[in-house]
């Protein structure tokens, strides 16, 4: 079935990012424009400082509606700061198991210096499994 493969071969390079001081509306625009379920929050040196999901954005919008304000806030107010990241050379099987354990749909990928260099998602992991497993349905041969 699936062999041990390094994450760098299946990660999304150059993921969508946003700065913590930007508005939640800008984050929503990026999430919709790039068709992703969440984005990495980075500082001016491209160090990972958090992640912002669609659910985080929805929470911000509902808060603005409840408070009857047109401003949903800054990314820093809604992002998750305690992020589980992975490394370039991590084994995709181990990463997949850990993502299942914590019910995460994506993980930021950091280089050895702690800089954001990619993102891995469930979809990317499924693609890796498909590539290594080959066709399981006889009609796909």
Rounded distance between C-alpha atoms, residue 56 and residue 24, angstroms = 9
Q: Which phi and psi (to 5°) does residue 121 adopt?
A: -130, 170
Domain 7-132, CATH: 3.10.580.10
Sign (positive or negative) of CA dihedral 120, 85, 48, 89: negative
On the 0-12 / 13-18 / 19+ scale of CB atoms within 10 A, 72 is buried
Q: Which residues contact 115 (CB under 8 A, 6 or more apart)?
A: 45, 46, 47, 48
Q: Average model confidence (pLDDT) for the chain?
A: 89
Q: Report which of residues 23 and 126 the model is more confident about.
A: 23
SS3 category, 42: strand
Strand 106-110 with 86-87, pairing = parallel
Q: Residue 43 phi/psi, 5° resolution?
A: -90, -175
Q: Is-contact 115 89, C-beta < 8 A?
A: no
- The pTM (predicted TM-score) of the whole model is 0.84
In tens, the pLDDT along 34-81 reads 998 899 999 999 999 999 999 999 999 999 998 888 888 999 999 999
Sequence ranges of the domains in the chain: 7-132
């Amino acid at each position: 079935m699936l062999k041990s493969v390094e994450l760098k071969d299946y990660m999304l390079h150059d993921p969508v990012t946003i700065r913590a001081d930007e508005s939640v509306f800008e984050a929503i625009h990026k999430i919709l424009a790039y068709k992703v379920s969440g984005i990495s929050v980075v500082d001016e040196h491209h160090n990972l400082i958090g992640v912002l999901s669609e659910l985080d954005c929805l929470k911000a919008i509902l808060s603005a509606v409840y408070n009857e304000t047109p401003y949903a806030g800054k990314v820093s107010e809604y992002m998750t700061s305690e992020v589980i990241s992975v490394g370039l050379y991590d084994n995709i099987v181990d990463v997949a198991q850990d993502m299942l354990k914590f019910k995460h749909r994506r993980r930021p990928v950091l280089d050895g210096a702690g800089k954001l260099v990619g993102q891995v998602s469930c979809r990317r992991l499924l693609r890796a499994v498909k590539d290594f497993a080959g066709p399981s349905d006889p009609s796909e041969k």
